[in-house]
Every structure is written in structure tokens, then in C-alpha cells.
Structure 1
Amino acid sequence: MAYETDSLNRRTLGPAIASAVVGIAVGAVAVAGVSMISGQDTVPTGNAVTADNALLGGPEYGSREAD
């Protein structure tokens, strides 16, 4: 613990680092919790288009041939 006679930088460094560490930990727990609650850990397999057809020239964008 810093004393009142210590510089302002020394008195604020400890709480700032502690706050950053706690913030990172809470954020990581929040992200893990949301991912567990959502239950979506796989890629949907419904109407997926193959990689060759998903690029320009596929069904979404029309033909690449010049008219």
C-alpha cells in the first residue's frame, strides 16, 4: 500500500493495474458465459453454398461474363 508521502504516480499505479486485471477477468468470464448460453458452437449446415459458388460469379452475384 502506498503512503500519502509517495508521489501521485506511485499512489495511482497499483489501483490502475488492479482495475485493468479485474476488467480483463470479468470480460473473459462474460464472453465465456455468453458463448455457453448461446449454445451455437457449430457452423450452420442449412442452405450453405459451396466455396466455389460463394465467390463472385456465384448465384448471388450473377455471371462474371461480359455482356
Structure 2
Amino acid sequence: MAFTSAPIPAIFAGMAYESDTLNRRTLGPAIASGVVGIALGVVAVVGVSVFSSANSLPDSEAKDVEAAVLGDPEYGSRN
């Protein structure tokens, strides 16, 4: 009975072998690294924008500048 190799699954068809050129062996990992870097960058920008918008005053709690002195109701009474 002769040995026959099984067909290569499609997922591994694009992998480079040691006999391939250096450019072919490094192109896949370089592209994958770039894609992961871009994805992490987008996540970081979205995360920073979510947290930076959380430090603004809500409209219902905003006080007039002239009324924000000690003794006003939001600070309590001095008596």
C-alpha cells in the first residue's frame, strides 16, 4: 500500500514554508500585526473619548457663578 498525503486544508494553504523566500515568510505576520495594532488603536481612542466626556457637569446640577458662595443652600447653613 502506497503512502498518499492528505489534501492540505484550505486554512493552511496560505501559510509560508521554510523553503519560501524571506519576504513571503514575513509578509503574513507583518500584515496581521498591523491589523491588530489598528484595532487596538481604535479601541483605545474610543475608550479615551468615553471617559473624557464623563467629566462634564449635567445641566440640571449647573449653578450660577454668582450663587456659588459659602452659605448658599448647596453648601448648607452657617447658623
Which runs of 5 or more residues in structure 2 are unaligned? Answer: 1-14, 55-79
Aligned-partner Cα distance in 2 for 1:19–1:30: 16
Find the counterpart in structure 2 of residue 36 from structure 1.
Answer: 50
Count of aligned residue pairs for this structure pair: 40
| 1:8 equivalenced with 2:22 (yes/no) | yes
Moved >2 Å (runs of 4+): none
| Cα-to-partner distance string for 1:38-67 (whole Å, 9 max, x where unaligned) | 116xxxxxxxxxxxxxxxxxxxxxxxxxxx
- Can you list the C-alpha shifts for 1:9-56, whole angstroms capped at 9, x where unaligned? 00000000000000000000000000001116xxxxxxxxxxxxxxxx
Between 1 and 2, higher relative CO (CA 8 Å, sep ≥ 6) is seen in: 1
TM-score of the two chains, using structure 2 as the length reference = 0.49
| Aligned-pair identity (%) | 75
Give the TM-score, by structure 1 length.
0.57
Distance 2:16 2:51 in 1: 42
Pair member with larger Rg: 2
C-alpha RMSD of matched pairs (Å): 1.0
